[in-house]
């Protein structure tokens, strides 16, 4: 391996730290999903989302205040982008969690893993980013994998599968909007604003439900879900800041393993072979895309060095 290649690949120690952070982030997200799914055994969905959002907002606001993030309030011209991000956050939260409450956790999680591939298509269409035929093919394979999990036209398909798939599109809207927001706006501040927005909208939904006073045990579930949700965000930010994206990102698919284990051990949900096949297609397509991007980055870095040496 040349010096240029080593530089493009990133410091090994940093990548190890980032990989561990990514694994912890996905484990945290599954704990969050598991706890809030368990809470809906006793509470309506809107109320559960509101209470978790309330806890998440309180925790995020405390952290943002302690770290000084609140001092970096967005300029007026940034609010349209933040508004789009919040719409994406609201849609992804409600569509995905509503689906999660009514379908196996492994299936809902597998559908959500189409987000990175959908981001490629959205970036090409809306941001005019160059995307080669190999990545388009990987995106198509991932889409086919999601369709195998959903299985439209069969007895396995239901409206909840469609809601989970809708959550993918709102997640893409959220992530694309986030990419356009300047880094001068702290992540904790964005998380705090999102938590407040989601909690407020969830409160509106809960007004049309029969409110059930939560037991202390259920409140503990929801508070824990909020902690793990914020922990997942924190770990994934750490992973992205300290490791090379193309090396670290494939480890996001470890969430499938945690989701299958949670489904079997806690909810008694055993995915069938067809769902596992579709999940595997989504994972392999995503990993191929990340590895392909890593190779292209190294080749571009080597080409830049060669051009400089010939000048």
- Predicted confidence at residue 155, as pLDDT, reads 59
How many contiguous H segments (helices) and E segments (strands) does the chain have? Answer: 13, 0
Q: What is the pTM of this model?
A: 0.78
- Predicted confidence at residue 2, as pLDDT, reads 40
Q: What is the full per-residue pLDDT of the chain (311 aa) written as tens digits?
A: 444 434 344 454 577 888 888 889 889 999 999 999 999 999 999 999 999 999 999 999 999 999 998 988 888 888 998 999 899 989 999 999 999 999 889 888 888 878 777 777 777 776 666 777 777 788 788 888 878 877 776 656 678 888 988 998 898 888 788 878 887 888 888 889 988 999 999 999 888 899 999 999 999 999 999 999 988 888 877 776 677 666 676 788 888 888 988 999 998 888 888 888 888 888 888 787 777 776 766 766 666 666 666 66
- Predicted confidence at residue 5, as pLDDT, reads 39
- Predicted confidence at residue 245, as pLDDT, reads 61
- Predicted confidence at residue 1, as pLDDT, reads 40
What is residue 281's three-state secondary structure?
A: helix
State the DSSP code for 215: P
- Predicted confidence at residue 7, as pLDDT, reads 39
Q: Which residue, among 217, 115, 235, has the nearest Cα to 170 in the 3D structure?
A: 115
Distance CA 190, CA 129 (A): 25
Residues 248, 19: contact at Cβ < 8 Å?
Answer: yes
State the DSSP code for 152: T
Distance CA 165, CA 160 (A): 9
């Amino acid at each position: 391996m040349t010096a240029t290649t080593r530089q493009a690949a990133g410091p090994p120690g940093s990548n190890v730290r980032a990989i561990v952070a990514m694994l912890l982030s996905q484990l945290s997200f599954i704990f969050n999903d598991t706890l809030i799914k368990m809470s809906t055994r006793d509470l309506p969905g809107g109320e559960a989302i509101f209470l978790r959002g309330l806890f998440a907002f309180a925790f995020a606001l405390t952290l943002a205040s302690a770290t000084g993030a609140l001092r970096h309030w967005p300029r007026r011209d940034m609010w349209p982008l933040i508004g789009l991000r919040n719409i994406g956050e609201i849609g992804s939260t409600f569509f995905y969690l509503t689906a999660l409450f009514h379908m196996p956790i492994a299936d809902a999680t597998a559908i959500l893993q189409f987000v990175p591939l959908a981001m490629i298509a959205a970036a090409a269409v809306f941001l005019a980013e160059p995307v080669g035929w190999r990545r388009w093919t990987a995106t198509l394979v991932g889409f086919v994998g999601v369709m195998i999990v959903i299985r439209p036209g069969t007895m396995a398909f239901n409206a909840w599968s469609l809601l989970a798939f809708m959550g993918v599109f709102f997640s893409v809207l959220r992530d694309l909007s986030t990419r356009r927001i300047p880094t001068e706006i702290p992540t904790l501040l964005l998380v705090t604003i999102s938590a407040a927005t989601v909690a407020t909208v969830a409160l509106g939904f809960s007004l049309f439900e029969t409110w059930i006073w939560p037991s202390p045990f259920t409140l503990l579930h929801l508070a824990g879900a909020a902690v793990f949700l914020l922990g997942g965000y924190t770990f994934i930010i750490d992973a992205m800041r300290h490791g090379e994206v193309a090396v670290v990102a494939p480890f996001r698919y470890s969430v499938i393993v945690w989701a299958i284990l949670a489904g079997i051990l806690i909810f008694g949900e055993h995915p069938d072979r067809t769902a596992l096949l579709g999940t595997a297609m989504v994972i392999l397509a995503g990993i191929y895309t990340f590895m392909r991007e890593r190779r292209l980055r190294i080749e571009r870095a080597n080409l830049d060095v060669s051009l400089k040496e010939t000048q």
